[in-house]
């Protein structure tokens, strides 16, 4: 204690303090914690609180002694000297330290954000799998993996009143994945109906085939079976001997006919076998064409494209909101 009333206290103290944490921008968040020193017994008439150092000196000295587990980086310490006045007129002098720290995001980016983005990209690519059964199994696997990431995110987040934008993004992505799974099931059901019947109800015809299908650039063709395409009746389906004869020169063809005369029964069996093969090929082709032209198939394709577009719009919107929230 000096003669003019200044007192210095060099006794080391270990202070444990808590502060309100806002994790909205997690893991790119910056927290500000306040540490206020003052007397609540003696007013400014008795004690004047004066900081020993300024903000720059306190920041430089604190960075040299600051230690953490790699989760936080010390940005700055602001030293304020102010007087608080209460309702009864009493004034108390305080020294306030505003400690600004920033979270280190590298660990969260590697273990959380990158796997979530990769799973989301894989789920988007799965929308283009042609087989709906394989797509459904693949999507369920992706959702299971994404749910594990949500559990990891829940363990990493501290308790706070404000939900993080990353958690909202993951929840929305999980919802869109489940929405796409439901759409995949409905589309697969419509595809199954295309094998059984070709006419759709009137409400579906008005909703899908006239409005949504045209908006998705899907051609609306009814299922029309043309029997003449399945089995042509007025043309020879197959004639192996005639094809061979046309490829031979006239002189060699005459010698070939003189040397060897084809057996009529073998010739007839060959024609019958060729006709059967052609009928089988035509029948398979006609089934595929009928399914392609089916109204149920058109509704299924339109619904599938609509789900893909809605899925991409939601995901792209959430990604833009997430980037804007982190950069501000």
Class of domain 108-219+303-327: mainly alpha
Q: What is the pLDDT of residues 248-257, one digit of tens each?
A: 445 545 554 5
Cα–Cα distance list, 162 to 10, 22, 29, 107, 167 (Å) = 40, 6, 12, 22, 11
CA-based radius of gyration for the chain: 39
Residues of the chain with CATH 1.20.58.390: 108-219+303-327
CA angle 291, 293, 299 (to 5 degrees): 90
Tell me what pLDDT residue 313 has. Answer: 93
Tell me what pLDDT residue 317 has. Answer: 93
Tell me what pLDDT residue 71 has. Answer: 83
CA angle 221, 223, 224 (to 5 degrees): 110
Q: What is the pLDDT of residues 2-17, one digit of tens each?
A: 556 666 667 777 777 7
Q: Residue 259 belongs to what H/E stretch?
A: helix 250-259
Q: What is the pLDDT of residues 261-309, one digit of tens each?
A: 557 777 777 778 888 888 877 776 666 555 455 677 777 788 888 888 9
Rounded CA-CA distance 204/295 in Å is 10
């Amino acid at each position: 204690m000096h003669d003019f009333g200044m007192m210095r206290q060099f006794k080391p103290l270990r202070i444990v303090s808590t502060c309100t944490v806002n994790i909205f921008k997690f893991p790119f968040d910056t927290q500000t914690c306040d540490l206020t020193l003052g007397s609540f017994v003696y007013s400014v008439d008795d004690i004047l609180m004066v900081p020993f150092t300024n903000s720059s000196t306190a920041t430089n000295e604190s960075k040299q002694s600051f230690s953490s587990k790699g989760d936080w980086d010390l940005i700055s310490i602001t030293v304020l000297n102010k007087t608080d006045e209460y309702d009864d007129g009493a004034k108390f002098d305080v020294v306030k330290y505003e400690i600004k720290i920033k979270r280190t995001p590298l660990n969260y980016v590697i273990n959380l954000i990158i796997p979530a983005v990769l799973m989301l990209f894989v789920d988007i690519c799965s929308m283009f799998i042609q087989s709906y059964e394989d797509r459904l199994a693949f999507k369920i696997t992706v959702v299971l993996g994404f749910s594990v990431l949500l559990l990891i995110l829940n363990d990493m987040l501290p308790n706070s009143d404000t939900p993080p934008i990353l958690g909202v993004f993951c929840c929305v992505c999980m919802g869109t994945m489940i929405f796409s799974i439901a759409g995949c099931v409905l589309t697969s059901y419509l595809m199954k109906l295309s094998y059984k019947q070709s006419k759709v109800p009137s409400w579906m015809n008005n909703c899908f085939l006239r409005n949504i299908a045209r908006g998705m650039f899907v051609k609306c063709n009814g299922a029309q079976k043309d029997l003449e395409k399945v089995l042509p009746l007025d043309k020879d389906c197959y004639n192996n001997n005639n094809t061979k004869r046309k490829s031979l020169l006239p002189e060699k063809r005459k010698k070939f006919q003189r040397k060897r005369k084809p057996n009529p029964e073998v010739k007839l069996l060959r024609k019958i076998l060729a006709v059967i093969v052609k009928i089988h090929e035509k029948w398979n082709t006609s089934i595929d064409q009928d399914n392609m032209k089916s109204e149920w198939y058109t509704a299924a394709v339109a619904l599938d494209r609509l789900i893909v577009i809605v899925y991409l719009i939601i995901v792209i919107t959430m990604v833009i909101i997430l980037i804007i929230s982190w950069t501000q």
